[in-house]
Amino acid sequence: MSSNAADTERALALDPLGAYLAEQTDVVGTLTATRLAGGKSNLTFRVADEAGTAWVVRRPPLAGLTPSAHDMTREYRVTSALAGSGVPVAPAVALCEDESVIGAPFTVMGFVDGSVVRTADELAALSDADITACTGEMMRVLAALHAVDYAAAGLGDFGRPQGYLERQATRWLRQWEYVATGDLPDVETLGRLLLERIPASSAASIVHGDYRIDNVMLAPDDPGRIVAVVDWELSTLGDPLADVAMMCAYRHPALDSVLGFPAAWTQPRIPAPHDLAESYASATGSDLPHWDFHMGLAYLKIGVIAAGIAHRTKAGADAGEDHAAAAVPEYISLGLAALAGRG
C-alpha cells in the first residue's frame, strides 16, 4: 500500500465508511477514495463506489486540532438549509457525529462536477473575460447569500448576530493563545484597538467566513457560472461585511505564504480589493460602513489562521515546510495599518 493510500485509509477507514454510507443511500460494491487538494483545515476526499457514483467526504485533520475550527455539524447544517435558496451548494447526504465509524465526525455531500481555480497557473488558463465573469458572479452569489432569510431557512439559531463583531475579535484573540507562533505584541495591540472600536450596530445575515475564488466551484464549460460554494466550516450569522472584508484581505500576496504556493486570488489579474468591495456595494446597495474596522478584523483573522496552519504543521497534521508562520506578523501589521486608515 502506498503512503498516500495508507494515509487515506487511516483518515477514512473505507470499510466502516462504506457500511455507514450504505445505510444512507445506494452504494454498489466497495469504495475507493482520493484526497482532494484544497484547504489547510478539514480533510476532503472524493469517494466512489463500483458503479461510479461519487460523494465528497470531509473530516477534521488527524492532528493539531484547535477548538471550534473544524465544525462538521455547522457545514452540514448550513448547506442543507441553503438547498433551493439560489445559493449554489453541493447536495447534503449525511452527517455522522459518531466517531466510532471512522475515528472522527464527518459529512457526506453529493459530488458536484466543477472546477476550482486555486493556483496562479490555473488562473492563467482563464481569459480576462473569464475572470471578469467569474468575479462578477462571485459578487452576485455573495450578495444572494447575504439576502437569504435565515430564519425562514431554519437557521434562526445558527448564530447570534447581536454582538457578533465583538465576539469575533474576542474569539480570534483567544484562538491565538492556542496557536501563537511566538512573541508578537502587535497581536495584543491590534486586538485592543479592535475591541475599542466595535461598531454600535451592524447588519445580520448568513456569513460564509472564508469566501474567495478557491472556495467556489465553477461550471466546467463556463467560468462565469458557480455550481457550488464550498468550505462552510466558519459560517454563522453575523455582519455580512465580515465576508466582504475577508475576501478583500485575502487578496494580499502574503496569502501565498499561508497556502504555500502562488495563489490564484493574489494575482494582479483579479480585481483589486477596493474594486471587489465596490462591486459588492453596487450589488447590494451597501455603503460599506466601518470599513477600516472590518478590514482590521479580517487581517487579524487571517493572521491567526496562518498561525493555526503553522501549529498543525508543527504537530505533523500538515505535510511539508512551514511557510505560514512568516505571514503572521505581516497580517497583523496590515491590520494595524487598516485601523489607521492606511489599508
The three-state DSSP-derived secondary structure of the chain is CCHHHHHHHHHHCHHHHHHHHHHHCCCCCCCEEEECCCCCCCEEEEEECCCCCEEEEEECCCCCCCCCCCCHHHHHHHHHHHCCCCCCCCCEEEEECCCCCCCCCEEEEECCCCECCCEHHHHHCCCHHHHHHHHHHHHHHHHHHHHCCCCCCCCCCCCCCCCHHHHHHHHHHHHHHHHCCCCCHHHHHHHHHHHHCCCCCCCCEEECCCCCHHHEEEECCEEEEEEEECCCCCCEEECHHHHHHHHHHCCCCCHHHHHCCCEHHHCCCCCCHHHHHHHHHHHHCCCCCCHHHHHHHHHHHHHHHHHHHHHHHHHCCCCCCCCHHHHHHHHHHHHHHHHCCCC
Q: How open is the CA angle 77-228-159, to the nearest 5 degrees?
A: 30
Q: What confidence tens digit (pLDDT) does each residue in 318-341 have? A: 555 568 899 999 999 999 999 998
> Mean pLDDT, the chain, as a whole number?
91
More confident residue, 312 or 28: 28
Q: What confidence tens digit (pLDDT) does each residue in 154-213 have? A: 999 999 999 999 999 999 999 999 998 778 999 999 999 999 999 988 899 999 999 999
Point out which residues pair with 95 in neighbouring strands.
107
Q: Is the pLDDT of residue 67 over 60?
A: no
Q: Is the pLDDT of residue 68 over 80?
A: no
CB neighbours of residue 136 within 10 Å: 14
Q: How open is the CA angle 21-24-27, to the nearest 5 degrees?
A: 55
**Using 50, 70 and 90 to split pLDDT, how confident is the model at 294?**
very high
Cell of 3: 503512503
Q: Which pLDDT value is given to residue 148? A: 98
Phi, psi of 45 (to 5 degrees): -135, 145
The letter for the amino acid at 140 is R
Over range 67-81, report the average pLDDT.
Answer: 79
Percent of the chain with pLDDT over 90: 78
Q: Is the pLDDT of residue 70 over 70?
A: no
Percent of the chain with pLDDT over 70: 92
Q: Which pLDDT value is given to residue 339? A: 96
Over range 74-93, report the average pLDDT.
Answer: 94
Q: What confidence tens digit (pLDDT) does each residue in 219-230 have? A: 999 999 999 999
Point out which residues pair with 47 in neighbouring strands.
33, 55
Q: By mean pLDDT, which of 73-77, 129-133, 141-145 is the weakest?
A: 73-77
Point out which residues pair with 317 in neighbouring strands.
none
Q: Which pLDDT value is given to residue 24? A: 93
The letter for the amino acid at 230 is V
Q: Which pLDDT value is given to residue 321? A: 58
Cell of 157: 439559531
Q: Which pLDDT value is given to residue 1? A: 43
